[in-house]
């Protein structure tokens, strides 16, 4: 759940009124500039959206006398509005503060322009409000490809990730990958804050990857492009021996992600197999050039 108070802390907004409403939940990533509504066109009023007032909106309000101004504001500043943001630190009419206090609507101000605010706020809200789920696995950046490694516990996901990091690839998340659907085609993966930059390896315990390999060995988030699923080798199972079969797909939050299966048994170098899988399948099937990571 995203609240107005979290928004205030993230973007350092000043709260002018409506402090009691700071725990209101934000449910929409779209923002509303209510110029048309202030002019009397109320057919598409969307009070569940954050309202933004810039020079255009405040200039329109200044054309009304006090009683009309309050009437116009009362029509758009409904109690369902999560908050109102005034841009450029502009001076606001007294009616704004009165209505915000009466209806428990946080009234915020920022020195940013409306254009800057829209750019920053919409990106943030899309990420925060995107549909999300948790997937058991490891997410690494291999040759620039967002690769998620999945499989049963103890199959060797963390060991494979450790070897990949040692070879110059980047850790994004281990054990649990928080996946968000940020648009119709992209899944963004990141690590829960409590386990960020950490990798649990049986026999060694919890490793801080940045301490072992440096700050350049991790990244905060990565688009998930590809999945490698590890499973115990089954003698009677028919595995792909020629490498001509296209990858299957796995549905995550309604998006299909290419996935291949790699059987695990003693003597197989998982890190090498994963690197080759990325190069072969991503290049051949999706025509994206990947290059080896830069090394010191």
CB–CB of 4/82 below 8 Å?
A: yes
Label the pairing between strands 138-142 and 107-109. unpaired
Q: Is 241 a catalytic residue?
A: yes
CB atoms within 10 A of CB 74: 14
Label the pairing between strands 107-109 and 14-17. antiparallel
Residues 6 or more apart whose CB falls under 8 angstroms from that of 106 comprise: 4, 8, 15, 17, 18, 19, 21, 22, 24, 82, 83, 84, 100
Q: Is 65 a catalytic residue?
A: no
Annotated catalytic residue: which of 49, 112, 141, 175? 175
Token couple for 138? 């490891």
How far apart (Å, rounded) are the C-alpha atoms in residues 258 and 251?
A: 9
Annotated catalytic residue: which of 72, 112, 157, 222? 157
Residue owning tokens 């929409």: 28
158 marked ligand binding residue: yes
CB–CB of 247/254 below 8 Å?
A: no
Annotated catalytic residue: which of 241, 265, 287, 295? 241
79 marked ligand binding residue: no
Radius of gyration of the chain (CA): 25
Token couple for 11? 């973007």
Q: Is 70 a catalytic residue?
A: no
Q: Which residues participate in the annotated binding site for Mg(2+)?
A: 158, 200
Binding region: 158, 200
Residues with a known catalytic role? 157, 175, 241
């Amino acid at each position: 759940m995203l609240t107005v108070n979290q928004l205030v802390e993230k973007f350092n907004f000043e709260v002018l009124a409506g402090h009691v409403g700071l725990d209101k939940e934000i449910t929409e990533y779209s923002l509303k500039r209510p110029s048309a509504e202030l002019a009397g066109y109320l057919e598409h009023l969307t009070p569940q959206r954050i309202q933004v007032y810039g020079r255009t909106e405040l200039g329109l309000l200044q054309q009304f006398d006090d009683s009309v101004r309050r009437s116009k504001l009362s029509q758009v500043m409904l109690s369902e509005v999560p908050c109102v943001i005034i841009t450029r630190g502009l001076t606001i009419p007294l009616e704004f503060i009165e209505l915000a206090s009466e209806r428990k609507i946080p009234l915020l101000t920022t020195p940013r322009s409306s254009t800057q605010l829209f750019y920053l706020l919409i990106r943030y809200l899309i990420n925060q409000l995107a549909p999300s789920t948790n997937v058991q696995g490891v997410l690494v950046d291999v040759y620039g490809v967002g690769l998620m490694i999945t499989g049963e516990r103890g199959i060797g996901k963390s060991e494979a990730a450790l070897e990949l990091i040692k070879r110059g690839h980047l850790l994004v998340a281990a054990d649990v990958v928080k996946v968000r659907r940020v648009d119709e085609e992209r899944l963004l993966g990141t690590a829960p804050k409590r386990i960020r930059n950490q990798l649990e390896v049986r026999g060694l315990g919890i490793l801080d990857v940045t301490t072992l390999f440096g700050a350049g060995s991790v990244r905060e988030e990565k688009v998930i492009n590809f999945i490698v699923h590890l499973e115990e080798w089954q003698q009677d199972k028919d595995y792909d021996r020629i490498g001509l079969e296209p990858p299957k797909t796995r549905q995550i939050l309604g998006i299909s992600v290419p996935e291949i299966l790699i059987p695990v048994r003693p003597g197989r170098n998982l890190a090498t197999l994963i690197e080759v899988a990325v190069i072969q399948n991503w290049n051949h099937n999706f025509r994206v050039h990947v290059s080896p990571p830069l090394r010191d």
